[in-house]
Structure 1
Amino acid sequence: MSGKSKFRKAVAAALLVVMAAFAAGCGSSGQGKLVEGKLNVVTSFYPLYFLSQQIGGQEANVINMIPAGVEPHDWSPKSRDLDTASNAQLFLYNGAGLEGWVDDFLQGLPGASKLVTVEASQGIEKLSGNPDGGSADAGHVDPHTWVSPKSMLVMAATVLRNFEATDPAHKAGYEANYAVLEQKLKALDREYSETLSPLKHKDIVASHQAFAYLARDYGLKQVAIMGLSPDAEPKAQDLLRISKFVKANGIKYIFFEELVSDEIAKTLAHEAHVETMVLNPLEGLTPKQASKGEDYFSLMEANLQNLVQALQ
């Protein structure tokens, strides 16, 4: 059997593992109860939950739809999620195609609902899917805005504006909380710029095409095994092409993420004789990360450390 045939067989086996793991993660729903006397905010996934908690402080009750450990791309809400949101005051979703269910969800709201809905990625210059992440993604909008601190700053300002508009009585508190968050995000942005700029290597190979905004804002180039959705099935010729790229460009690590299977990344890394490492797209926390108190900042710091190790 030729080397290419062995590689294709290994890829096929890895794909079966990925599909099974992804299916097992779907179908769960978040938990949370409305609280009378507070601004009730429902968020579609973790980054918006984080921003809302940071800005809302004690005056807001934030409910995240997707529980820890569930990958958000193909998750869909249940009737209880609609019931919760319809009685809340504010619903934040990313937009840019991340939540394919959102139009039907909003149309399902009862006519009496006073829910304010906000597309939190508004105001960010969007990127299209990179053909390096698979031909099926070319021309599709990339929704992964939050992975860049620069974009997260824009999203934080959007969240603040809507908190103030929905609950003007607590405007001063929201602004004070936002000021602290803004300084932390600006510091993270500076750290990324100052740390990544001097590095000689700029190419990152990732299992999931989730880092285009990070790459754009900090001078990196992303090559992805799978597309904008982490369960997208890569073609054998794409994997062979990426394997050649890894070997030709001195890539030391192939990045994978915790919420989906790492089998394809490991298969490609084995074939190319390199190692694997985590690069977290921050779409959600694992149960372990949640129990340890990890958050956007700690995970972004870990990402930066791993980028430095891979790109030196």
Structure 2
Amino acid sequence: MKKNGYRFVLLSALFFLIVACSNNENEAGDQEQGEEETDGATEALEIYTTIFPLEDFANKIGGEYVHVTNLVPVGADAHTFEPTARDMISVAEGDAFIYNGAGLEGFAAALIDTINGETVAIVEAAKNIDLIDTSDTEPSEEGHAHEEGESHAHEEEHAHEGEDAHAHEEEHAHEGEDAHGHSHDQDPHVWLDPILSISMAEEIKNALIELMPEQEETFSSNFAELKAELEALDAEFTAMVEQAEKDTFLVSHAGYGYWERRYGLTQVGISGISPTSEPSQRELQRIIEFAKENNLQHVMFEQNISTKVAEVVTNEVGAEPLYLHNLEALVEEDVQQEEDYFSLMRQNIESLRTALQ
């Protein structure tokens, strides 16, 4: 806590120092900005986001009227990312800061406190979503709670009628906080559910309309197109699950609870809600035994998460690796191939189609 407090004080001091030094630069730019507005050009809104889905949705809704920057770099992890002082300055000078919320971004609270009083709009995309609560059940010392003699216990612990019995996630919940101080009493990975993503996109649309009301028709039209595409993606996901032979998949970290709730799937997460929470040796052995008993022939790796522990399970089980994209952040290959939310989610559908055979 002392280290975090020192870091916050230091970043705050740097923030005010850089702002003071940049006043002259801002004043010098006022005349240039005025000339641009006189010419009739509409200046794009400066939007800052924390995860790729928010960046992608903001671009799709805002179009030419937004310039979107994602704070979390390519290949990084939003769970552990920490912004620089310059990042904070940039956000403070922007028009909107859009973050997921639900405890995903451990840096968000400090950043918001630092920029408090500035004119930047603060948008919590997941604020109106019914989150999965991972603290309903006490953590079990039995690892992923696959009790001896009950080969289907995992199904009971994942009651799919809207219940939040994600026992394998709760066992990694760290009594509310992980080593980085991030709360994981709630599952923050809401963007993986296309229907919940509609709610997130609507928060973005509303914020853009408030910032640039003269473009309400454009933003509303773009949102309607995005909503229709998300609904179509949901239908594709549902069709894949209905055709699958299995409903259980083994994955490197337990970030897919919203697929469980929406589509009736069961994830077996090798790590917990946060990918930094590695399993104990006992938990790891139970995961391996469960995978063998249930003939899980694939382990799903993720694009921005260490594969060391997952590789142990893969080798012990004799499974084949597959890849899921958690969409928190892109990797260089995604950037080069110009992937978007929908192309990555459709890749996930195809990976699951193979894993659930």
CA contact (8 A) 2:53 2:341 kept: yes
Within 1, Cα distance between the matches of 2:113 and 2:208?
23
Q: Which residue of 1 aligns with 2:44?
A: 38
Match status 1:54 vs 2:60: yes
CA contact (8 A) 1:134 1:238 kept: no
Q: Which residue of 2 aligns with 1:131?
A: 167
Please give the per-residue CA displacement for 1:91-133, whole angstroms capped at 9, x wherever unaligned: 100000001111111111163x111101101221111333313
TM-score for the superposition, normalised by structure 1: 0.85
Q: Which residue of 1 aligns with 2:251?
A: 206
Q: Which residue of 2 aligns with 1:223?
A: 268
Residue 126 of structure 1 aligns to a residue in which SS? Answer: coil
Please give the per-residue CA displacement for 1:169-224, whole angstroms capped at 9, x wherever unaligned: 11111112112211111110111011212322101111111111122111101110
Q: C-alpha displacement at 1:134, in angstroms?
A: 5.7
TM-score for the superposition, normalised by structure 2: 0.75
Match of 1:155 among 169, 189, 200: 200
Match status 1:71 vs 2:71: no
Within 2, Cα distance between the matches of 1:219 and 1:233?
25
The number of equivalent residue pairs is 278
Please give the per-residue CA displacement for 1:56-80, whole angstroms capped at 9, x wherever unaligned: 1001111111121112111011111
CA contact (8 A) 1:134 1:225 kept: no
Q: Which residue of 1 aligns with 2:14?
A: none
Match status 1:247 vs 2:292: yes
Residue 189 of structure 1 aligns to a residue in which SS? Answer: helix
Within 2, Cα distance between the matches of 1:266 and 1:146?
27
Residue 253 of structure 2 aligns to a residue in which SS? Answer: coil
Q: How large is the Cα RMSD of the aligned pairs? A: 1.7
Match status 1:114 vs 2:150: no
Instruction: List gaps (5 residues or longer) in structure 2.
Output: 1-25, 34-42, 135-165, 177-184
Equivalent residues in 2 for 1:7-46, closer than 5 Å: 37-46=43-52
Within 1, Cα distance between the matches of 2:58 and 2:240?
28
Query: Which gives a bigger RCO, structure 1 or 2 (Cα 8 Å, sep 6+)?
Result: 1
Q: Which residue of 2 aligns with 1:168?
A: 213
CA contact (8 A) 2:190 2:258 kept: yes
Q: Which residue of 2 aligns with 1:277?
A: 322
Runs of 4+ in 1 over 2 A off after TM superposition: 128-131
Within 1, Cα distance between the matches of 2:242 and 2:228?
21
Query: Whose radius of gyration is greater, 1 or 2?
Result: 2
Percent of aligned positions with the same letter in both sequences? 32
Match of 1:292 among 330, 333, 337: 337
CA contact (8 A) 1:95 1:143 kept: yes
Please give the per-residue CA displacement for 1:212-254, whole angstroms capped at 9, x wherever unaligned: 1122111101110101111212111111111111111121111
CA contact (8 A) 2:172 2:279 kept: no
Within 1, Cα distance between the matches of 2:97 and 2:240?
36
Q: Which residue of 2 aligns with 1:14?
A: none
CA contact (8 A) 2:91 2:120 kept: yes
Instruction: List gaps (5 residues or longer) in structure 1.
Output: 1-33
What amino acid is aligned across from residue 121 of structure 1 in structure 2? A
CA contact (8 A) 1:265 1:276 kept: no
What amino acid is aligned across from residue 87 of structure 1 in structure 2? E
